[in-house]
Every structure is written in C-alpha cells, then in structure tokens.
Structure 1
Amino acid sequence: MVAVCCASTLGLGIGVTSGGCGNPTTYLCPWDENQGPKGTPCEVLEDPDAGGAGGCGGDGGDDCAAEDDTDVAIAHDFGDLIPAAEVCAGQCVPKEPLGWSEPTLLWIGAPDSVPSCPANAPIVGYEGYADFAAPAPHTCPACACDPPEATCEVPAEWNAYASFPCGGPEAPATSFAAPNGWDGICTSANAVEARRTCDGAPCVQSLAIQAPRVVSAGCAPRVAEAPENPDEPATAGSFVLVARACTGNASPPCPDPGMTCTPAPPSGDAAPPEGFLTCIHHEGEQDCPATYPERHVFYAGVEDTRGCAPCGCTEPAGATCSVLASAFSDPGCSQLVAGQVITSDAPYCGTVASGTALGSKSVSVVSLDPGQCEAFGGEPVGSIAPTAAATFCCYRTSAVPA
C-alpha cells in the first residue's frame, strides 16, 4: 500500500492511512506549491504495531489492499520526513516583535543565590543587575593652604622736588632713582649735586620715595585632613538583584503560526529557587509590547565618576612690609641727609635742607608679613550611575523577590 501526498497551502501534507485494518500509519511529506507533492507516492512510514506491510494489521487480508483512505492535516514544510507527533515539547508563546530577541528563560533574584541554567536551556545568554543600592554620600578631605612665599621689593623710584610738598603744581622733579633690580645696597646712581637749580630754584627741597611692595609667589594647597574611611569604588556588587537569562536549542514548531516554541520553565524538583520567567529582550530602555507586558530593566554594571574637587588657594590677602629708606649727601652712604621707615601702605614725602646734595641711598627691609590665602575645593564632584541598560519583557510571571 502507498500513501499519496495531499496539497497544502503551508507547504507540507500530513497524511494518515487507514485501510480499515490494523493501526493507522502516520506520516509527513513535503509539498511544493507549484509542482505538487515532492515524489508521488510518498514514502509510507509503517506503524511498528500494525503487524503487516503497508501499515495494515496481520488479519487485514485483501480488504487492506483495496482500501487507501487518507485523512489530511496541515503543518509547516520542514523538508525531510518528520513524524507528526514531534511537536513543541516546551511551551508555545507569542512570537517576538521585530527587533526583539527570541523568548528566553529569565531568573531574577539575590546575588548570593544565582542558579545554574536549567537542562532544557543550558546556555547563559545574559547577566545583568537591578535595584542599585546607592552608597553613603561621598566624603572628601578638607583643604588648607601653606603660608605664602613672599619678598619685600624695595622702592627704586626716588625723586627730588624744587618745592614742598612733593610734586606741587609746576614744581620740577629731579630723578634720584635706583638702578633696575636694585636690592637696597648703597648706590650713588643718579646723584644730585649740591645747589643744583631748577627754573631758578634749588632742585632739592623735598624728597619723594615710592612705597615698597610685597611680591608673593602664592600659597601651596594641601589636604588638611583626609577621611578616616575612604570610599570604595562602586561595582556590580552594589546592586540588590541579579538577572540571568538562559537559552536552549531550537524546538519543533507550534501549531499556531503566531506562536513560537521555547523551553518551558522547569518545575518541581528541577526548578531553581524563585523560578523562571519567559521573556524577550532588547538593548536599552524600551516599552514592552502587549504580548509581553511585564517590564524589567537591568544594567551591565555601574560607572563611578565620583571624586573630589582639587584643593586650591586664593591670592594672599593682608600682606605688608616696611623698609628703612636712607638718603646721604656723600657717594658712600655715610653722611645721612634723611631716613624714614616706609610701609607698603603709602609712599613717603619729606623735606630736606634746600639745595642739599643727594649723593647716595640705601634701603633695608624692616618687616614682612606675607598675608594668608583662603583654601577652596575639596567638595564632592561626579556621580554614580548604572550603565548599558537592557529591557526584558515577560510573558508568564513567577515569584520574584521583593
């Protein structure tokens, strides 16, 4: 007896021979929509329990040879002959939307109880994390500033005036300046001889000296006090939940073309703690389709950019210095004409004997207060945030830890 394939719009005929005797023979055969059955007649898959050739029982006799009734069912075209009884051994769930992964088994639970993947889905396809446990506020050290390094710059600008006070209206000035880079040691530069006249009047009647100046190199910042317990970098261990997705091999089809066959969550003694969900996956944060409405978002890890602003110092404030400025009539700084302590707060102007010679000068530093700087910086900066989001949308729920 032979079985003849039957036309199918889905490309595969399923036939059942039933000659009225013995057990029926079930078979599948491919179908070509343009050319009909691929091979006519199709190969008959004899039922081993039928007791005779062609699928008929041992007592079928001639009636079996005379009859060849065929019942028809429809299935997808898988090419080679496949027993019709070999259908989805797992679970049939809705097909995933375009751009989403095929359904997988997803476990969610505490980091210390992550199970192995079940036997029917042994491949770990994804591991991620959720429910980030934010650490305590970031602590930073206190900042301070070392005293500034400073020097007192002695005044190099000296002028004699043919009047008093210094620099009066229309009073000519005669320079008695020190050389550039002067350190205050005795110098006879720009000496003014005795009885020199300016516009008919003695050139030397008063003496003006500029104020000294504090020159500071600024303050060096430093850490005054470091935290007793420095912060540990945030890692994946900072998450409360772990997710593991498990995948298995391809399974036979489901009768409904809108469904797909996927491994079923294990049950009974084979089920790991907390059970599994059946979910589809998409990179990034996504909305879930209606067929897989339960949404879970996980992350690959955490990016910790926390830190402390560097310590710095303002410019020094309150710096002062004072010098003793002396003028002499001779070139060797021995015959004192005028001597005055001058501070950095204001220049000096004083009278001298009219027509006196200004032969030399010297300056020595009396005091120096470098001032102080205010510290800034040391405040927390940066942030901590989960990275590489992935969305799992689940079809069938199971117990998930709170």
Structure 2
Amino acid sequence: MTLDAGAGWDGTCTPAGAPIPGEAFASVTFEAPSLGACTPSPAPEPLPVVATFAKACAGYIGQPPEGYDLCVRTKKDGSCWDGYPEKREFTEELVDHRSCSACECGSPEGGKCSADVFLYGDAACSEQIVASEGTGHGAARCSDVSSPSAVVAMRAELTEAEPGSCTPSVSRVTGTVEKGEMHIVCCAPRRSPTNQTLSYTCPRF
C-alpha cells in the first residue's frame, strides 16, 4: 500500500484517502525526499541585427537635414556621378526569421534535503502512530510498527533544504535574416561651413 500526498505537498496535515487498517501492515517504509527540478529561463530573443539604415526621398530636396547626406542613383553603368563619389549599398528590407531554441535544465545535483515524516490515526494529526525523523535525500528508511493502528493522515516537516544546481543547456539561434532587393547609391561628401570636405562615417542618408 502506498500513501502519496502528491508532488506539490507542503507537509501540512493531509488525509490519507481511504484509511489503511492496522492489521494490514507491520512496518512502514518512508521514501526519501527528492530535489525539485530547476525551472529554465524563458527562451531568449536573438541579438538585434547590426546594420546601417537609410531613408530615401523622392526628388531633389536641396540641402539635406542635419545628420543626413545627399545621395543619388548611380549611372546606368553603375558608376557614380561627379560630385557624388561615395558609393553605398543598401538592401531594401531585412526580414528576420531567426528564433532561439528553448532553454533546458539538467537534473539537480549537489543539494541536500531531509524531512521528518509522521503518520497519524486521526484526521487532525494528533494521534501519532509512527515517525521517521531525518529521512534524508537519496536514502529510504524503514520503521517497524509494534502496535499498528489504522493510518488516517500524514504530516511532514522539512528539516534541511540546501538547493542544488542544474546544468543548463545552450540556447541556439535557428533561422536566417532574409535580405530584400539591393540598391546602390552615390553620395556627396559632407562639407563644413567653410566648404572643406569632412571625414566622417554616417549611419543614414
């Protein structure tokens, strides 16, 4: 016969379902407590795409706004126009199809757990029949019962709880980033107020 309070039992006084008659047993085996499994973290998001982004405007707008550069399409042969020597390439759109695999945890290791477990002859857990004190993790304990009475309820007290650790799995990125149509433009050098060409790196145009 087995008494099982369920995986979520917190040790409070719990009825044993149908009482177990005293003449049905002469000893009780107390199963060892077990370490709870680790809860994995939610699956992470892939790292953001690192790229240079551009915004194109139809027609000539004169002096571009601050932080923008003046660019035009290339010639038909793909070369740049006079005054627009800086060739830059951009894809029309990036579609991110990537995702990360779920995180998982291995079995817990290195922890310690022990409990005092008590069986009672009444539903209020006041008439103790037998107890197993200090039942430790990984070691069941058997106790003889000299004058068995019907088992009606059970209770437990956690006496030692040292959490272990779990070896985590490595989340992996799957999928690809889809590139759209390629566009090539030619940009004019940025100039200072004194009309001198500046050396710069600009993230957009």
Which of the pair is proportionally richer in strand? 1
Name the TM-score class by shorter chain. Answer: 0.3 to 0.5
TM-score, with length taken from structure 2: 0.47
Q: Which has the larger radius of gyration?
A: 1
Task: Answer 1 or 2: higher relative contact order, Cα 8 Å, separation at least 6.
Answer: 2
